[in-house]
Amino acid sequence: MTDTSQATLSPTKRAGSRKVFIKTYGCQMNVYDSQRMGDALADGGYVATETMEDADLVLLNTCHIREKAAEKIYSELGRIRKLKAERAEAGKDMQVAVAGCVAQAEGAEIIARAPVVDLVVGPQTYHRLPQALARVAKGERVIDTDYAVEDKFSHLPHSQPAQLRARGVTAFLTVQEGCDKFCTFCVVPYTRGAEVSRPLARILEEARRLAEAGVREVTLLGQNVNAWHGEDAAGRSIGLGALLYALAEIPGLTRLRYTTSHPRDMDDALIAAHRDLPAVMPYLHLPVQSGSDAILKAMNRRHTADDYLRLVDRIRVARPDIAMSGDFIVGFPGESDADFAATMRLIEAVGYASAFSFKYSPRPGTPGAELPGHVDEPVKAERLARLQDLLRRQQQAFSEGLIGRSLSILIEKPGRRPGQVVGRSPYLQPVVMPESAGAVGDIVTARIVDSVASSLMAEGASETRGALTGGVVAA
Q: Which residues are CB-neighbours of 204 under 8 A, at least 6 positions away? A: 246, 247, 250
Average pLDDT over residues 57-76: 82
For residue 15, CA distances in Å to 7, 12, 162, 163 come to 20, 10, 18, 19
C-alpha 396/C-alpha 84 separation (Å) is 47
Least confident window among 174-178, 305-309, 469-473: 469-473
Range with the largest mean pLDDT of 158-167, 215-224, 357-366, 462-471: 215-224
Q: What is the H or E stretch that residue 211 is in? A: helix 200-212
Q: Is the pLDDT confidence value at 182 over 90?
A: yes
Strands 57-62 and 18-26: parallel
**Cis preceding-peptide flag for 62 (omega within 30 of 0):** no
Beta-ladder partners of 450: 457
The pLDDT of residue 192 is 81
CA atoms within 13 A on the CB side of 431: 35
Q: Is the pLDDT confidence value at 180 over 80?
A: yes
Average pLDDT over residues 97-116: 89
C-alpha 295/C-alpha 265 separation (Å) is 20
Number of neighbouring beta carbons within 10 Å of residue 104? 24
pLDDT in tens, 317-349: 999 999 999 999 999 999 999 999 999 999 999
Which domains, and CATH codes, for the chain? 2-144 (3.40.50.12160), 160-369 (3.80.30.20), 406-474 (2.40.50)
Beta-ladder partners of 176: 197
The pLDDT of residue 463 is 45
Q: Is the pLDDT confidence value at 298 over 70?
A: yes
DSSP string, 25-64: EESHHHHHHHHHHHHHHHHTTEEE-S-GGG-SEEEEEE--
Radius of gyration for the alpha carbons in the chain, expressed in angstroms and rounded: 23
Least confident window among 272-276, 350-354, 372-376, 460-464: 460-464
Q: Is the pLDDT confidence value at 307 over 70?
A: yes
The pLDDT of residue 125 is 83
Dihedral (C-alpha) 328, 331, 333, 337: value to the nearest 10 degrees?
110
Q: How confident is the model at residue 466 (pLDDT cuts 50, 70, 90)?
A: very low
For 15, phi then psi, to 5°, come to -60, 130
Beta-ladder partners of 22: 59
Average pLDDT, the chain: 88
In this structure, are residues 356 and 384 in contact, taking their beta carbons and an 8 Å threshold?
A: no
Average pLDDT over residues 79-100: 92
C-alpha 305/C-alpha 135 separation (Å) is 51
DSSP structure class, residue 223: T
* CA angle 401–2–330, rounded 5-degree value: 65
C-alpha 17/C-alpha 434 separation (Å) is 41
Average pLDDT over residues 309-324: 98
**Direct distance between the N- and C-terminal alpha carbons of the chain, in angstroms, rounded to an integer:** 36
Question: How many residues belong to the chain?
Answer: 475
In this structure, are residues 272 and 298 in contact, taking their beta carbons and an 8 Å threshold?
A: no
C-alpha 50/C-alpha 259 separation (Å) is 29
Q: Is the pLDDT confidence value at 252 over 70?
A: yes
Closest CA to 364 of 29, 69, 60: 69
pLDDT in tens, 200-237: 999 999 999 999 999 999 999 999 999 999 999 899 99
pLDDT in tens, 402-426: 999 999 999 999 998 899 999 999 9
Beta-ladder partners of 18: 46
C-alpha 349/C-alpha 309 separation (Å) is 8
Average pLDDT over residues 54-60: 94
Q: How confident is the model at residue 10 (pLDDT cuts 50, 70, 90)?
A: very low
